[in-house]
A and B are shown apart, each in its own frame.
Chain A
Amino acid sequence: MSTSSKPTYTVLLVDDNQDLLRALSFALEELGGFHVVCANDGIEGLEIFYDIHPDCVVIDVKMPGLTGYQLMRAFRGDSISMETPLIMLTALAQDKDQFAGMAVGADIYFTKPVKPQVLAEAIHKVIAEGSQERMRRYQELVDNLTPDFSN
């Protein structure tokens, strides 16, 4: 399938906005060399995930039916999908939303609009990052959020 020396990673995009899906899948294929699969909502996202086992999932927060947070929890709660890199993409721009995104297990949290190059780079980065590195980052996040009472 892949003609280049680099392996072709499969990225699953879950967003309810068709226009954005079309634009992003085109851009990620063009700029990042990914194989992009799209899902229109959370349920479809789950179905496709277990069909193709993508290397990374990009999820929008506000979707009808299953929201991005719920979908993310479903992924994180299943041993098959537990270690798949997840990127959160949302229009919500409050600090507390970002916290919620990280808390449910997003590897990276992006507030729309984000440039396609930036997104492609981020996907490459999280895929390259091993699962151990990811666990270390979670731990760091947890440590930072827990107040230090030792003093």
Chain B
Amino acid sequence: MDQSALSGSFKPPLDLPLTPVAGLAWLKGNRFWLLFLVIIGLLGLLIAVQSQTSGALHFLLSDASPALALLSAFIGSFWVSLRLPKGKNRLAWRWISLAFLSYFIAETIEASIVVITGFNPIPPSLADLFILLFYPCLITGLLFLPSPSLSRGARGRLIVDAGMIACAALGVSLLTIVMPLLDSTESISGIEKVIVSAYPLGDVALAATLLLLLIRATEGVLRPILLWMFIGACSLLCADAAFNIIALKNISIDSSPIVDPFTVAGEFLMGLSAWFYLIHGNEPDFAWLWLARSRKTTVRTLQRPWYQRYLLPYLPLALVVFLGLTRDLLPPSQYQLVTIFQILALFTVVMTITRQILLNAELVDAKIANEQAQQLDALKDQFITSINHELRTPLMTMQTYIELLRYQQQTLPEKTGRLVTEIGRTNDALVDLVQSILEVRRIDQKNDEFPREVVHLQHAWEQALALINPREGSIAERILRVNLQPDLAIWGESVRVQQILTNLLSNAVKYSPPRSVIEVSARTVQTEGGRRSKAGKQQMVEIQVRDYGLGIPPEQIPLLFHRFVRLPRDLASNVVGSGLGLYLCQVLTEAMGGHIWVESAGVPGQGSTFALRLPSAEAVTNQQPIGETMEAHIGW
């Protein structure tokens, strides 16, 4: 067998980090795939040993192993697409898997040609057609991958950087795309011309796609990855361009000094970026994962110190690349030593990949779990709304009968009359609860701010007073002392302000004995470090509602503002409540840019003071013209 027809030396497994990683990385790390990786590792060992003795077997194996790797990448990425929910992301992975499939077919054909003829096929061959299919599929897949947008300044810098590299590569390649087509020497046939010029064209398209993604990509981890992949694609472009020039000039490919460095650099960069993506690609999700409080292992791994996260994973790769690049410089007598290192490096690569597969599989699982959780959450919201609506009609029927009974209360025996009062009270609480649940859900759902307007406190207070349920331990039995500074105005939403006041007052009435005093006061205060004012001072309206009832034990104060929480003392008493009133007060106050708190010594008779601060309308209207505020609010 003609030894010179084969690539005489064992090439470093640069394809290995590139191809199986991209697909396999997403898989669940079950034993089957672990075994598969070990087989690839053993294959590498075999290749290394064989390379010292038989060139033919070595070549077969070194061509068969990329084919196997690509097959695994295909199965892997296809499996990923099966696991993903329907959408763009799944479509992207379908296309990527198709790309790997066509590359796999190409490699298989090439390996078969070697087995049958014993010669390394020189392009163009049938294999080239399939390799060329790889480009459009991969590009389509890449374009479908979801990517968040980049800030304007960063995008500008990127365009300049990437544009310069792209121009250089394009300049070299454009010539070679056209050149074979214009070539008048009949050294190659027409179809071959097309295939030969299609390679740089594919490279250009790939580079352009990566450039596009680079421009669209967010700041952070994805950027360097895409930049490297882009430079890699440009390098491959140069290699293919150089190959075309050499082939056309009928120079022997084996002795080409230009093609190899470009090919190696291109593959290396692509491989490195795939590797980088594998290790760091999912890190932006870290914060989310932490919130989800799941997958402790993943979080722990991501929390490792920088040298463990950045240095160690790259060591094996660096070793393999270094050995591969320097081996040709060594005399043949040293090959044995290098092979041992290569085997070691290969196994480290396999182990690192396996670790990453396990890690990424967890991330994918967690992502899917999160999507499912969100769907369930939406379903739950829908359920709450519809059940809430369904409850309202029977509730109204019941209320109607109770009101009729109440209407005729004088004609009823006293005992029955008391029972009717109790039923009415409970029914009112039920109505409140049904309304509060929907209100809470609406606030939870709607994160945007309320429309702001000038709310005159005096007016809001009068409305709130009118809305107090007269049955909640009649307000007429309390001594109400109101001391509102005149002309106080709040920057908020009137309905919400009134709702807060109603809730606080109704609480004060509920939790204080008859004939006790309830004090309501409001004044303007200056607070430090307001968001609205750059001078650091902010004008706020402070409202206090004080009762002389039971008071709240200090240790129970933190519980007050939680939803559906009722204090132990209330549960024991016959005071009716849903545990949503103060939660609503807090949410509404904070949404309007204020805060609410409670002061109480927990001593019966001294009662408690509920206080809240809301932004004053004066401060707002003085600082900026109304028109501007309106605009800011509407979001023009």
Binding site for B on A (CB under 8 A): 17, 19-20, 23-24, 26-27, 30-31, 62, 91-94, 111-117, 151
A151 to chain B: closest residue by CB? B627
Is B6 part of the contact surface with A, judged by Cβ < 8 Å? no
The total of interchain contacts (Cβ-Cβ below 8 angstroms) comes to 61
Assuming the contacts A93-B438, A151-B627, asked whether A116 and B389 have C-beta atoms less than 8 A apart, the reply is no
Pick 19 A–B contacts, CB within 8 A, sort by A. Answer: A17-B393, A20-B394, A20-B396, A20-B397, A20-B400, A23-B401, A24-B397, A26-B404, A27-B400, A27-B403, A31-B403, A91-B392, A93-B392, A111-B392, A112-B393, A112-B395, A112-B396, A113-B395, A113-B431
Nearest chain B CB to A69 CB, angstrom units: 16
Q: Is the CB of B390 within 8 A of A91?
A: yes
Give the complex CA separation of A35 and B27 in angstroms. 73
Residue of B nearest to A26 (CB): B404
A93/B388 in contact, CB under 8 A: yes
Q: Determine whether the beta carbon of A115 is less than 8 Å from that of B389.
A: no
Residue-wise, chain B 426-459 has the 8 Å CB interface mask toward A (1 for contact) of: 0000010001001000100000000000000000
- Interchain CA distance A31-B393 in the complex, whole Å: 20
In this assembly, does B32 line the interface, its C-beta being within 8 Å of a C-beta of chain A?
no
Q: Is B298 in the interface zone, CB < 8 Å from A?
A: no
Assess the B404–A30 pair: CB atoms within 8 A.
Answer: yes
**Could you say which residues of chain A place their CB within 8 Å of the CB of B395?**
112-113
Q: Is B9 an interface residue (CB 8 A)?
A: no
Instruction: Chain A residues near B435: list those with CB within 8 A.
Output: 93
Residues of B within 8 A of A151 (CB): 627
Contact of B396 with A114 in the complex, beta carbons under 8 Å: yes
Find out whether the CB atom of A91 lies under 8 angstroms from the CB atom of B393.
yes
Bound-state Cα–Cα, A20 to B400, Å: 8
Distance between Cα atoms of A18 and B617 in the complex (Å): 50
Distance between Cα atoms of A39 and B576 in the complex (Å): 37
Cβ of B407 and Cβ of A30 under 8 Å apart? yes
Q: Check B392–A113 contact: CB distance below 8 A.
A: yes
Q: Quote the shortest CB–CB distance from B459 to chain A (angstroms).
A: 18
Given A27-B403, A115-B399, A115-B403, does the pair A93, B393 have CB atoms closer than 8 Å?
Answer: no
B397 touches A17 (CB 8 A): yes
Given contacts A31-B404, A116-B400, 20 further A-B contacts (CB under 8 A): A19-B393, A19-B397, A20-B394, A20-B400, A23-B396, A23-B401, A23-B404, A24-B397, A31-B403, A31-B407, A91-B390, A91-B392, A91-B393, A93-B389, A112-B396, A113-B392, A113-B395, A115-B399, A116-B399, A116-B404
Q: How far is the CB of B449 from chain A (nearest CB, A)?
A: 15
Residues of the A chain whose Cβ atoms lie less than 8 Å from the Cβ of B627: 151
Complex alpha-carbon distance, A24 and B399, angstroms: 10
CB neighbours (8 Å) of A23 from chain B are 396-397, 400-401, 404
Count the B residues whose beta carbon is within 8 Å of the partner chain — how many?
20
A113/B390 in contact, CB under 8 A: no
Residues of A with C-beta under 8 A to B400: 20, 23-24, 26-27, 115-116
Alpha-carbon distance between A65 and B438 when the two chains are bound, in angstroms: 27
Main SS at interface, chain B: helix
Chain A residue at minimal CB-CB distance from B399: A113
From known contacts A93-B438, A116-B400, infer whether A20 and B393 are also in contact, taking CB-CB under 8 Å. yes
Q: Which residues of B contact A31 (CB under 8 A)?
A: 403-404, 407
Q: Specify which chain A residues have a CB less than 8 angstroms from the CB of B393 in the assembled complex.
A: 17, 19-20, 91, 112
A116 and B401 CA atoms in complex are apart in Å by 9
B469 vs chain A, min Cβ distance (A): 11
Q: Are A27's CB and B389's CB within 8 A?
A: no
Q: In the complex, A81→B404 CA distance in Å? A: 31
Chain B residues in 8 Å Cβ range of A62: 389
With a CB–CB cut-off of 8 A, which chain B residues contact A30?
A: 404, 407
- A92 contacts B397, CB within 8 Å? no
Chain A residues with CB under 8 Å of B392's CB are 91, 93, 111-113
Cα(A17)–Cα(B393), bound, Å: 8
Min distance, Cβ B607 to any Cβ of chain A, angstroms? 32
A51 to chain B, nearest CB (A): 26
The answer to whether B396 touches A92 (Cβ under 8 A) is: no
Q: In whole Å, how far is A142's beta carbon from the nearest beta carbon of chain B?
A: 20
Output the least CB separation between B408 and chain A (Å).
Answer: 8
Which residues of the partner chain A approach B397 to less than 8 Å between Cβ atoms? Answer: 17, 19-20, 23-24
**Cβ-closest chain B residue relative to A62:** B389
Asked if A19 and B394 sit within 8 Å, CB to CB, the answer is yes
Determine the chain A residues whose CB is within 8 A of the CB of B407 once the complex forms. Answer: 30-31
Distance A67 CA – B395 CA, assembled complex (angstroms): 21
Q: Complex: how many Å from CA A23 to CA B435? A: 22
Chain B residue contacts of A115, Cβ below 8 A: 399-400, 403
A117's nearest neighbour on chain B, judged by CB, is B403
Residues of A within 8 A of B442 (CB): 94
Q: What per-residue 1/0 map shows which CB atoms of B278-293 lie under 8 Å from chain A?
A: 0000000000000000
When C-beta atoms are compared, the residue in chain A nearest to B391 turns out to be A91
Which residue, B390, B399, B400, B401, has most C-beta atoms of chain A within 10 A?
A: B400
Interfacial chain A residues near B388, Cβ < 8 Å: 93
CB contacts (< 8 Å) of B394 on chain A: these are: 17, 19-20
Q: Which residue of B lies closest to A119 (CB)?
A: B400
> Which B residues are in CB contact (< 8 Å) with A92?
389
Most buried by B among A113, A116, A117, A151: A113
Which of A91, A111, A114 is packed against the most chain B CB atoms within 10 Å?
A: A91
- Which are the 3 A-B pairs with shortest beta-carbon distances? A113-B396, A112-B392, A91-B392
What CA separation (Å) do A86 and B393 show in the bound complex? 19
Is A91 a contact of B389 with CB atoms below 8 Å?
yes
Task: State the CA gap A26–B435 with chains docked (Å).
Answer: 26
In this complex, the member of A19, A23, A27, A31 whose beta carbon has the largest number of chain B beta carbons within 10 angstroms is: A23
Q: Could you say which residues of chain B place their CB within 8 Å of the CB of A112? A: 392-393, 395-396
- For B431, the chain A residues whose CB sits under 8 A away are 113
**Which A residues are CB-close (under 8 A) to B403?**
27, 31, 115-117
Q: Which of B393, B396, B399, B431 has the most CB of A within 10 A?
A: B396
A30 to B396, CA, bound (A): 17
Distance in angstroms from A116 CB to nearest chain B CB is 5
Please give me the residue from chain B that is nearest to A118 by CB atom.
B403
Chain B residues with Cβ below 8 Å from A26 are 400, 404
A76 to chain B, nearest CB (A): 25
Chain B residue, CB-CB nearest to A110 = B396
Q: Which residues of B contact A91 (CB under 8 A)?
A: 389-390, 392-393
Return the chain A residue nearest B404 by Cβ: A27
Q: Which residues of B contact A114 (CB under 8 A)?
A: 396
A93 contacts which chain B residues (CB < 8 A)? 388-389, 392, 435, 438
When C-beta atoms are compared, the residue in chain B nearest to A20 turns out to be B397
Contacts of A94 in B (CB 8 A): 442
The CA of A114 and the CA of B442, in the complex, are separated in Å by 21
In the complex, what's the smallest C-beta–C-beta distance from A100 to chain B, in angstroms? 15
Query: Scoring B residues 75 to 102 as 1 if CB is less than 8 Å from chain A, else 0, what string do you get?
Result: 0000000000000000000000000000
Alpha-carbon distance between A92 and B386 when the two chains are bound, in angstroms:
9
